[in-house]
Structure 1
Amino acid sequence: MAAQLGGQPIIILKEGTERIRGREARSNNIIAAKAVAAAIRTTLGPKGMDKMLVGGGDITITNDGVTILREMDIEHPAAKMLVEVAKTQDDEVGDGTTTAAVLTGELLVRAEELLEQDVHPTVIVAGYRIAAEKAVEFLGDITYTITENDTAALLNIAKTAMTGKGAEGLKEKLAGIVVEAIRSIVDEEDGKKSVDIDNIKIEKKVGRSVEGSELIRGIVLDKNKAHHQMQDRVTDAKIALITRPIEFSKMELDAEIKISTPGELAHYLDQEEQIVRDIVNRIETAGANVVLCQLGIDDIAQHFLAKAGILAIERVEKKDIERVARATGANLITSVDDFEASDIGSAGLVELRGHGEDKMLYIKECSNPRAVSILIRGGTEHVLDSTERALEDALRAVGVAIEDETLVSGAGSPEIELALRLNEYASTLKGREQLAVIKFAQALEVIPKTLAENAGLDPIDMLVELRSQHEKGKKDGGLNVFTGEVEDMWENGVIEPLRVKIQAINSATEAAIMILRIDDVLAATGGMEHGGECGPGGCGMGGMGGMPPGMMM
C-alpha cells in the first residue's frame, strides 16, 4: 500500500498487503457471517437435523449449535465472531446457542437490504441499538415468575432445553434427574440464589441403555482402589481428603547419604518404613476408613493402609476432590502431620462397583450433599456424548431459571411478540433509525420461520397465523411443530429462562454491529489466515474450514 506526496510514493504497508475498503469489505464480512448462520440454521428446533463433523479420525454427531461451531475449522475473522456469540451464549446460559447465531446472521441480512438503499451503517447501528434495548424492555412485559419449588415449571424448562437433542426419547426421566441435581447444589447468600454447575459431576459409562442413567446423591469416580487387598465396600464411611502424596518425604536439598554397611542400609530402610507407618497411624487415629489422595500413594503406604482396613484411592483430580468435600462435609488436608477428626467427612456408603479393571467408586448416602453426580449410560460413545450435551444444556437452563426466577414461553412466541411491538414502536421514531428498527423486528421473525421450515411446514402461512394470534392478545402463542398449529406454549410447557432470550438478543446485536462498523480490511501477504486469499470473491471465504469453493456449507 502506498500514498503519493508531491509525486514521491510513500510506503505505508509492506508490499503484497491486500486492502479492501468500503462496501466491498462490508459485503465480504456479511457474506461470511451469513454462511456460518446458514450452516447451523437447519439444526434449530425439535425437528432440527443433525450434523456429522469429521476431523482427525474423530466423528461427532450433534445438532448443538456451539458444538458445531467449535468443531468447524472457521478461519474468516468475521465468521469467527458468530462462533464467539455462540460460545458466550453457552457460557452464560447454556442454551439458545443456535438461536443467537441464526439471529446474528439474519440481522446482517436485513442490514444488507438497508445498505443497498444507501442507508449509512452508523444509522443502522444506532437503530439496532435502540431496537435491542426496547426488545429487552418489552420482554419484561411477557415474563412469568416462578420459585425453586415450582417443580412442574423446572421440569418443563429441562425438557424444552433437551428437545431436539440426542436425549429426546428419555427426556422425562432425564429432566427429573436434572431438576433434583440442581436443587441439591443451590447456594443462597443475602437472599440471592446461585448455582455452580461445576458442583455436578457428569460421569459417562458405555453399557446398558440411556434409561440406566441415574443421579447419585454423592460422587461417582472412575477410579479403582490403590491396593488389591483393600476392601470394596465401606459402610458408615469416614473420608479423609489428602492433597499431598502419602509417602516418605524425599530430601529436597542436594544432600548425600553415605551408607557403608548392610546394617546401615537396613536401618535407613526401617526408618523410611516407620515414617510411612506413622502417617498411616495418624490417618487411622483420626477415624478415617476411606482415603482419597490427590497425588500418589507409596507402595509401602498402600500396604499399611490395606492392613489397617482403609480403602484408599490415589491420583484423584483436584476438582473431584473439591466435589467430594462439598458432598461429604470434609476439609482438604494439606499436611498429614497436622489434621484432626473434624477434617474427616462422612457418607453412608462407599463402594466399588464393576468387574476387573472396569470399576467405579461410588460415594453415596451423604446426609446433605452440596455436590452430586449424574452417571450417564449408553450403548455407544456417540450416544453418551450426545446425552451429555443435552444434559449440560438442561442443567444450565434450570440453574439460570432458579437464579433469576423469570421465564418466557418458547417456540417462537417471544420473537413474534417482540416483532409486533417493535414495529409499533418504530412508527413513533422520526429519523432513519426507524428503518433499522423495522428491519430488526423482521430479523426476529427468523426464529419461528426457521422452526416452521425445519418441521416441513409452510413458513409464510405459519408466520401469518402467529402474527394474527398475537395481534389478538395471545402473547404466548407459539408454533407447535408436531401439529402445525399455533398454541399457547405456556400451557404446553414449552418455556425458557428469560436470560436465554436477553443474552441471545444482546449478543447477536453486538456481533452484527461490530461487523457493520468495519469498512476497511487489511490482510498481510497470503490473505487472511493460513494462506487464504483476498480476491474478487471476497477475503477469507477460502477460510471457511476447507469447504469446496462456492459451497455455502
Structure 2
Amino acid sequence: MAGQMSGQPIFILNESSKRTRGRDAQSNNIMAAKAVAEAVRTTLGPKGMDKMLVDSLGDVVITNDGATILKEMDIEHPAAKMIVEVSKTQDDEVGDGTTTAAVIAGELLKKAEDMINQDVHPTIIASGFRMAAEKSGEILDTIAKGITSEDEAQLINIAGTAMTGKGAEANKEVLGKIAVDAVRSVAEKGDTRTVDMDNIKIEKKVGGRVEDSEMIEGMIIDKERVHTNMPKKVQDAKIALLNSAIELKETEVDAEISITSPDQLQSFLDQEEKMLKDLVSKITGSGANVVFCQKGIDDMAQHFLAKAGILAVRRVKKSDMEKLSRATGGSLITNLDEISEKDLGSANFVEERKVGGDDMIFVTGCDNPKAVSILLRGGTEHVVDSVERALNDALRVVGVAIEDEKLVAGGGSPEVQVALELQDYASSLSGREQLAVKAFAEALEVIPRTLAENAGLDPIDTLVELRSHHENGENTAGLDVYTGDVVDMWERGVVEPLRIKTQAINAAAEAAVMILRIDDVIASNKAPEPPEGAGGMGGMGGMGGMGGMPPMM
C-alpha cells in the first residue's frame, strides 16, 4: 500500500502485509464462513453423523455437538472464527442448537453472496437481514406455547430432543428423567425462576452400562475416608464442613524451643496430643458424626476421630465444599472454636461405596437439596464422555425451558413457519430490503432441508410437503426423520425451548451482517517481536493461539 508524492512512494503498511479489498475480500470471507458451516452440517438432527477429532497430542473426541466440534477444530481464518463464535454464544446462552446456529449463518451468507453478485449493496442486505431477524422473533413468539416446571412429561420430551442424535438416545428416557429431576431440584423459586447449572455435579465413572447412571439427592465426592477404622456408613449424619485444617497451628513468630531433658520432651508431645484431642472433642461436642475437611487432617487427629466413630474426608475441593453446603444445609466453618450444632448439615446417609473399582463417598437423602449429583456410567471412556456432553445439553435446555416457560415444536417446523410468514412480510416491503428478507426466509429452510438430507430423504420433496402442511395452518407440522413423513411434532413430543430458536436466528443474522460489512482485509504477516518484559504473549496471534487446545472442563 503506497501513496505517491513527488515520485517517492510512501509505504504505510509493512511490506509483508496482505490486503484484500472489495468483492474479493467479501467472497473470500463468505467462502471461509460457508466452509465452517458445511463442516458441521452433516451432524444436524437425529440422523446426523458424528465427527472424530484428533488433536495434536493424539487425544480423541467423538462428538455430534456443533460447539464441541468447532471448538476442537483448529480454525485459522478470521471470518471462519466468527461462525465459531456464533455456536459458542449459542452454547453459552442455551446449551443446544449450536449446529443450527452455525448452519443458518452459513446459509445466510450464501444467499447474500448471490445478492451481491446481482449488485445489491451489502448495507441493504444487512438492514434487510436485521429486519427479518426481528420479525422472526415476533413470529416465533406467536407460535410458542407455555409450559410450567410441573409438566414433567413435557420436560422429559425437551431433554429427549436435546439428546437425540448425540450417542445417548438409546437411553434418553433414563437420562431425560435424571436431567429433569436434577434441574427441578436446584431451580430457585423467586419472582423469576433461575437455574444455576453449577449446582449440578456430574461424576463420570467408566464401567457398567449407561442405564446404570443415577441421580443422587445429595453429593458424590470422589474421595475415600481418611482412616480404615472409621465407619463405612453413617446413618442420620450430622455433617461438619470445615475450611480449616485439623492440625496444630505453626507459631506465627519464629520461636526456638530448647528441650533439655526427656521429661520435657514427653510433656511437650503430651501437650501436642492433648491439643489435637481438644480439637477433635470440639467436633464431637457439636454432635457431628461426619467431617468433610477442605485441608489436611493430622495423623493423630485421624486416630482420635476414628476412635470417636466419626467418618472424615480430607482435601475436598472448594467447589465441592460449597455444593455440600447447599445440599446438606450446613455452614462452612473456618474456626473450630466456634463450631456449634446449628452449623451442621444433615443427610440420611453418608457412606463409602465402591464404584468402578474406586471408593467414593455418597451423601444421600438430604431434606431439600439445593445441589445434586449425577453419577454417569458407560462401557468406555468415549461413551461416558459423549453421554456427558448429551446430558449437559439436556440439563441446560430443561433449565432454559423452566426459566422462560415457552416452547416450540421441533423437527424443522418453526423454521418452515417463520419462512412462510417472512415471505408475506417481504411482500409488504417496498424497498430493496424486500430481496434480503425473502433471502432470509429461504435461508431458514436450510434446517428442514438438512434434516431430510441427513436422513437420506429427498430434500425438495420434503420441503414442498412441509410447506403445504404449514400453508394449511398446521404450524407444528415437522419432519419425522425415522419414517420420512410430515407429522405433528407437538403430538410426537419433539419440543424445544423457544430461546434455542430465537437465539440461533439472532446470532446467525448478526454474524452474517458482520461478515458482509467487511470490504477490506488487511493482514499483517509477521507477528511483531514482543517488547522487553512482555512475556511470550506476542506470538499468540490474537485468538489463533487458543486453537487445538483441549476444552477445559
TM-score normalized by the length of structure 2: 0.93
Q: Deviations over 1:60-95 (max 9, x none)?
A: 111111111111111211111122211111111111
Number of residue pairs aligned between Structure 1 and Structure 2: 533
Deviation at 1:181, TM superposition (A): 1.2
Deviation at 1:394, TM superposition (A): 0.6
Let me know the Cα RMSD of the aligned residues: 2.0
Matched, 1:115 2:80: no
Q: 1:284 to 1:421 in 2, by over 3 A?
A: same
Q: Secondary structure at the match of 1:201?
A: strand
Q: Deviations over 1:240-288 (max 9, x none)?
A: 1111222111234444444454444444333333322221111111111
Aligned residue identity for 2:148: T
Matched, 1:159 2:193: no
Please say if residues 470 and 477 of structure 1, whose CA atoms lie closer than 8 Å, have aligned partners that are also in contact. Answer: yes
Paired-residue identity, %: 64
Aligned residue identity for 1:293: C
CA distance in structure 1 between the aligned counterparts of 2:300 and 2:9, rounded to whole angstroms: 79
Q: Which moved more, 1:270-279 or 1:143-152?
A: 270-279
Q: Which moved more, 1:451-460 or 1:203-212?
A: 203-212
Matched, 1:360 2:360: yes
4+ runs of 1 displaced by more than 6 Å?
Answer: 542-546
Please say if residues 18 and 527 of structure 1, whose CA atoms lie closer than 8 Å, have aligned partners that are also in contact. Answer: no
Matched, 1:280 2:275: no
CA distance in structure 2 between the aligned counterparts of 1:401 and 1:111, rounded to whole angstroms: 33
| Alignment match, 1:370 | 370
| Alignment match, 1:141 | 142
Q: Deviations over 1:416-465 (max 9, x none)?
A: 00001111101111111111111111110010000000000000000010
Please say if residues 72 and 547 of structure 2, whose CA atoms lie closer than 8 Å, have aligned partners that are also in contact. Answer: no
CA distance in structure 1 between the aligned counterparts of 2:382 and 2:343, rounded to whole angstroms: 41
Aligned residue identity for 2:464: V
Please say if residues 205 and 355 of structure 2, whose CA atoms lie closer than 8 Å, have aligned partners that are also in contact. Answer: no
Q: 1:466 to 1:281 in 2, by over 3 A?
A: same
Alignment of 1:190-205 (within 5 A): 191-205=191-205
Please say if residues 75 and 544 of structure 1, whose CA atoms lie closer than 8 Å, have aligned partners that are also in contact. Answer: no
Q: Secondary structure at the match of 2:241?
A: strand
Matched, 1:124 2:141: no
Aligned residue identity for 1:403: E
Matched, 1:499 2:477: no
| Alignment match, 2:485 | 485
Alignment of 1:135-284 (within 5 A): 135-189=136-190, 191-284=191-284
Q: Secondary structure at the match of 2:351?
A: strand
| Alignment match, 1:48 | 48
Please say if residues 226 and 312 of structure 2, whose CA atoms lie closer than 8 Å, have aligned partners that are also in contact. Answer: yes
CA distance in structure 1 between the aligned counterparts of 2:291 and 2:490, rounded to whole angstroms: 49
Alignment of 1:293-312 (within 5 A): 293-312=293-312
Deviation at 1:15, TM superposition (A): 2.5
CA distance in structure 1 between the aligned counterparts of 2:121 and 2:306, rounded to whole angstroms: 77
Deviation at 1:323, TM superposition (A): 1.2
| Alignment match, 1:77 | 78
Q: Deviations over 1:273-309 (max 9, x none)?
A: 3322221111111111111111222222212211111
Please say if residues 116 and 122 of structure 2, whose CA atoms lie closer than 8 Å, have aligned partners that are also in contact. Answer: yes
Q: Which moved more, 1:242-251 or 1:474-483?
A: 242-251
Aligned residue identity for 2:237: A
5+ unaligned residues in a row in structure 1: which ranges? 529-541, 547-553
Q: Secondary structure at the match of 2:193?
A: strand
Deviation at 1:508, TM superposition (A): 0.9
| Alignment match, 1:28 | 28
Deviation at 1:510, TM superposition (A): 1.2
Please say if residues 74 and 544 of structure 1, whose CA atoms lie closer than 8 Å, have aligned partners that are also in contact. Answer: no
Q: Deviations over 1:203-245 (max 9, x none)?
A: 1111111111111111111111111221111001000111122
Aligned residue identity for 1:130: M
Aligned residue identity for 2:78: P
| Alignment match, 1:449 | 449
Deviation at 1:5, TM superposition (A): 2.9
Q: 1:263 to 1:14 in 2, by over 3 A?
A: farther
